[in-house]
Amino acid sequence: MSIGPKPPRQSRLPDAASEARLLELRREAEQRGMVTSAGAKPAGAPFPQASPEAGYYGMPLLKKPGWSWEVPVYFFVGGAAGAAAVIGAMANWTGADKRLVRDARWVASLGGPISTGLLISDLGRPARFLNMLRVFKVQSPMSVGAWTLSAFASASAASAFAEAVDRRFGGLMPVRVLGNAAEALAASTGVVMSSYTGVLIGATVIPVWNENVRTLPLHFAASGVGSAVSVLELMGHDDSTALNTLGIGAAAYEAYEGLHIETHPTAANEPLRAGVSGWVTRSGGVLSGPVPLLLRLAALSTRGETARNFRRAAAMSTLVGSFITRVAWIMAGHASSKDYRLPLERGGAKQRQELPPRSRQQEKELLPRERPDKPHGISK
């Protein structure tokens, strides 16, 4: 079977508009070192045009976060445990109630392994968590979080165990020194534990999380402090003025965060105010902010059992609200990833800087050179 000669290939002659656009792209790449604007689209090309109105074939541009129910529980437990370690260390360094120091250490020591178990459950198998510890990357919130969790769980367990041994055998100096050293490490890593999860979700491309990347770490840290204070108060420390003061500060910041979200209506923050995720966000914000704040202020103006009842009610409201807040942020992230308009609108909102004019000779140098009639290395 013979095959006839192939028909001559039709070469497309570039039009003036395409060549002018390519010239602009070359100038932009030379000036900035990168190209951020749209390229040249040949006439009649089948390439889709992504836009905020139509999206990309009407499909979401971002993947929905694949986290399961363990993640918001991990955020809640880890934040409370980290803040409890800090509170216990501060109480020990200031010579406060020894029972408060002991209870805070045990809250932190229990939160460490629970958080580890929740994270491993979300990852699927322990080997994946161990693989995260093979390297340490400062620029990766996930890597920093895995190493922080490992150090925190070990240090908090060591400080609680040393406290139990010291109490059982009557003040052994080596054990006390070891316990204090472990307590310092647990407190330093506890600060990261209570706030790094806000950095973790804020450093993603999910619009609602990335929009609040500056406030999420403080928001989660305040929520963790409120949860730790509430747990300690429900364990019987409902007469400590220092704990109530910390609870007032945490509740005040939570109330401010809710007010900030309501008074800054941006398109990226829409899942925090509308739909199911909006109602869940508002419920968690009210229960962890204004409600415990008013109850704790009321406890300052009363005495005795009435004041303790106000503080217990504030503690229960804070715990429920803090947990709902973690769930609400995950729900808002899911809703934000489904809206294909948000990433396109955020990308299109950036105004392009005008390139400086160039001389005719410089533009001529940027134009592509003419192709030779024959490939290089072939002669007649």
pLDDT tens digits in sequence order for the chain, 380 residues long: 455 565 555 555 666 777 787 788 888 888 877 777 666 566 566 566 655 555 566 666 777 787 888 999 999 999 999 999 999 999 988 887 888 989 999 999 999 999 999 999 888 888 888 888 888 888 888 888 889 999 999 999 999 888 888 888 776 778 788 888 999 999 999 999 999 999 989 888 888 998 888 999 999 999 999 999 999 999 988 888 899 999 999 999 999 999 998 888 888 888 898 889 999 999 999 999 999 999 999 999 888 889 999 999 999 999 999 999 999 999 999 888 887 777 666 555 443 444 455 455 554 554 445 444 444 444 44
pLDDT given for residue 245 in this prediction: 92
Do 153 and 212 lie in a common domain? no
Residue 6, in any domain of the structure: no
Residues β-bridged to residue 56: 59
Domain identity same for 161 and 123 = yes
**pLDDT given for residue 374 in this prediction:** 46
User: Does any domain span residue 34?
Assistant: no
- Please give the pLDDT value at position 15: 67
Q: Look at residue 78 in the predicted model and tell me its pLDDT.
A: 93
What's residue 75's pLDDT? 94
Is there a domain that residue 58 lies in? no
Same domain, 185 and 226: no
Last residue of a domain, one of 140, 160, 194: 194
**217 and 313 both lie in a single domain:** yes
Distance CA 104, CA 190 (A): 12
CATH code of the domain in which 154 resides: 1.20.1630.10
Same domain, 114 and 174: yes
User: C-alpha distances in angstroms, 112 versus 105, 152, 350, 357?
Assistant: 11, 7, 43, 60
Residue 56, φ and ψ in degrees, nearest 5: -115, 95
Domain count, the chain: 2
Q: Same domain for 98 and 125?
A: yes
pLDDT at 345: 64
Residues 235 and 282 in one domain: yes
Tell me what pLDDT residue 256 has. Answer: 93
Whether residues 113 and 211 fall in one domain: no
Specify whether the CB–CB gap between 234 and 315 falls below 8 A: yes
User: 240 and 329 in one domain?
Assistant: yes
For residue 23, being part of any structural domain is answered with no
Domain boundary among 139, 166, 194: 194
What's the gap between Cα 195 and its chain centre? 9
Determine, yes or no, domain membership for 39: no
pLDDT of residue 25: 80
- Whether 184 and 215 share a structural domain: no
* Residue 229 and residue 185 share a domain: no
By residue range, what is the domain housing residue 262? 207-345
- Whether residue 106 lies inside any domain: the answer is yes
Q: Based on the domain organization, do 180 and 81 belong to the same domain?
A: yes
Q: Decide if 27 is inside a domain.
A: no
Q: The whole model's pTM is what?
A: 0.74
Is the four-CA dihedral 299, 301, 306, 307 of positive or negative sign?
A: positive
Alpha-carbon distance of 298 to 193, in angstroms, equals 31
Pick the last residue of a domain from 167, 194, 221: 194
In a domain, 32, yes or no: no
Exposed/middle/buried for 336, CB within 10 Å: 0-12, 13-18, 19+?
A: buried
